[in-house]
Chains A and B, each alone.
Chain A
């Protein structure tokens, strides 16, 4: 099925965004302390849908928040009462503007684990109720390598609406899913239908974007080699600088491990689900003291293998989407790209 393509210019795009913000609950990158977070916005002036990949956080918190209440309880001499918490604040119908392709792909990747067997209904609702509007980057970031992995960045259907900057200020707006098609029919009032040159122009933009990558890898080869590298000594070398914080996992668009913890004051309390990371020294610690991954290189091995081998084995898609945020946010700039390249050498 072919989807509609529209064209406009900078002013038209702004009007388009403003119309969306006016009509729907909209999230967009908002600047805070020098980096961009996706927050709900009331007007276009408060946000920047074209924030650079280098300091834009992922949209993962809008689907898998850093902390979520599971239940409230009260336990006293008269018995225990468990109540489920109130409505999910992230479940409303909403639009996210300025999403990066890698993040949108990240959601597609996460869908597998959340819809596997026990379906995470909260996540499913959030996914179903969200329209993703993704602007294709014009230039790759220093740590990006999304085009080297197992998904087609150009033809991706991870997002509902695609925005591409063509030549001479022309901007193309294209539906990528049926949901996107319906959405554009409703909100693209000020956009003109694109002419025959749109395909060419978008291809041209993609080519220049593809050529701008500093980092490239042969994914098939790396994935193939990594499978046998469990015993490799390289893991010790590549993880030497790691300081064992959880940053890479927490800001990664596809890391999904969580921990369940209770907070209580006297007879009452709340149970939370919060981010966790296999990098954490206590992740595999069991009661009684046994810890299968007591040293750093084993945890790094788990991280690299999970990202590039295990998840693919289980669900058929690579867990890493090549956004490079781990390398940018890591206090000592460890890049998973460099790690797997070295291990798979």
Chain B
């Protein structure tokens, strides 16, 4: 390779490459007069280039004229360099002149200029001359059978070729060799190769490159072509997944797939993401889909104890490097998913990782670097506003109790400073006897805690891969490093990942391969929620009057002996915490090791009959560290406390399938599969912990002088399955499919171990029928429908059906072992059952310029795992039973449009829209379930996401008290207010719109996500609108407009210190319309012209790109919170702070060799 390059370019090339590139880019002036020319003779060109090769000249001509050039690389690969300076010259003359210098000539057919060696040259080749010649001819059309003129027809490996004429016909003289191959190529079409053999007449139909309908879909236990698929599935390819660096692929699917709802509950790097495919069929069990990686069903459960203790999450799916993913298929309906049986009810997400393709070896290097920041924070009071609010109430109360103005002011100043824990003014009595600010009072501390806590963070992502293949072996290797810092202190995630995928044809009848992924990741989790250790909580709730560093009464830092600033540990909110220090002093670290490997062998008994056996171990190992330092925060009482959690999960899947495909009488296509599978998981866990450390920098347990109770457990789960699938199609027109699976699981009750699941599907390609065949604008029209059943076993404890008395340190009394009754037995516990009906149409019109699908589904989930509520005096709050029934239905619409499709400029538009409604059909006569933690109610006839809380009735004009609806009137006592139905959290519809433009090497795209309808409860805003109910805690500036005797029409109640009217408790006061549009992604990329790449050495492609994520969000409502509704989750409710998603700017370069 290198050698060729040396030969190709003059020796001085590399030295001057940089300058030259600039010269090429800047100095070359090309003026082409293109005013509606007719033929090559009329085409005039103006061109000024220095030191360029023939190919570079042709490239320019190709770019600037309407002509296509057909030539073989060999012919134009001359080291000769030219200087060109022509003005208004005819293209014909120019070409002839130039080509002559290289002993070349050209012919023109339509718009294609075919360049060949001069005939004399060919004639000089005696060998060729002696060979026997044959004439081949043919006819080239597009899919709609219209003739295609100007298609380049080349004899492979030679420079012989022609272009088709205006009727799409061609004639070519070739040497009489049966092995000869013709290559048909045309812009916008798939290149086709056809072996000549004995044929001399060819009818060739070229397929559109943009054809979407015949994508290869990875489906359950195999692949299929989308055109023949009766189920509902969507696919996302790698280029849409990796636009910006992300720890995990899940977020990238938001808005891209109709029927898939995505919510990320935290911006913590490495945290989990929630998926809902076609709504929520479960009440108490999990609604998360099944994840399948390269054919192996795997876990998506969150293993991390430490992340959970920090009220956050750590996604096990992040152990897969998104850069290693080739495609993701989402299986939505029964025909697509129910072959996964008892795990398929929430849909299936199939991840296919990259593999080598036959062809030249390829090296790809991708470098990305990004910066993230929190775009929007809460508008909170500054020091002066907060002081005044607190002071005024104290002052007025004291006055009304009969004290003098002087006494009241002194008392109120003291109280206020006590409440803030710091006097933010430079004088001790900033407010005087009249309750007015003193003129020489100046604020010395005004800490914007949100600003202090949220800081720009960097993301890096580097990936290198090698891939390629021969007839015998395909290979893909990659290594990646990813590091993402959180936007709040000390949170980050980093991952090292490796992958190797080899497939070989060992014998004609035996194929085998192994695909292995290893990754090591480290997550430092930010403590979230309402914990004192949470910087997110503290940033919202510390008043601005609290200094970051110890400060004297004049605002100067109190330095320690070494002259350093010292952190301030006093504040009214979180005892002995400082959000800028604690995250760096404590440790919340999760290290995850993951090895997924899959070894398969496939035996071909005869054409169409194959047996495949796969064995796939999946090993997850976590080593987690928690450390509370001994100086401040949670640790001092323990003298420092440290924990080590070890979790191992060894899973394996063993799958055997027998596959048959065959065609009879050319029109009967049959395929069938029979299989069995065993899945097993053994999870082991151990905890060691200790307290009382000698030093803060020593956190290993060896340094702990007091051990705390250790703990361990082992748990097992197994699943055993038999399955079969049969498919038949008649003449690729009528398709039928059926599947069956029988699953046995250890999770369920002794009386209910086995379940059966089945599906039927059919489709009809109307465009193949005679009555549509001749309608040119219909390219595809397929009607499909399916019905089937599946189950849900996810989200259940492994021993959920058993009566349990459990050991554990929570049940011990002093040093005596305690066993607590934690679960009542239910041997009847079984699967959640789901039946889904799907009907849809896939279409492509106007030469595939408009394409998409429209479908409707209806799924009914019965025997839902249901936490049957018991009165708490029972000793148990609930027992799990199979009781309830839920229905989900919706419409999904996808539309793709090639608004502009021509040689240089393309505008592509993709739109999708999903609606979904869910309804509880039956709660088996149990009382309505009121969920006080998420403020929802489960009631027959309502969505499971129905908000249920007191209705806000505004402010009492007389007293400034909060009012809620009670009966037909109102009450100012929160606990007396009526709980009422408020509407559901889930949107009425949601989806995405992608616009992509490409012009030459420039690609520009933007993506808008939208969600319409539904409600969201802003618990964070509520917590800073406490009107004194949470003494000392920061207030939102909206409280400034609260009720006073002068402002009786305020919508915010009166502020009172030591308030206990619960004015900010959950009510419709903080419910918002969740409708929003988000400019989620803007992407700009530039692929350097091939010419320049070649100049740059061994490079094949260089692409540079710039990406912005979460650029802008528009809310329909007067939304106060972070620029991110996702953190409120699917249920639209989150009362405690988590890290919001950030706006990210990414710059990347991709090199391939």
Partners in one complex: no
B residues bordering A, Cβ < 8 Å? none
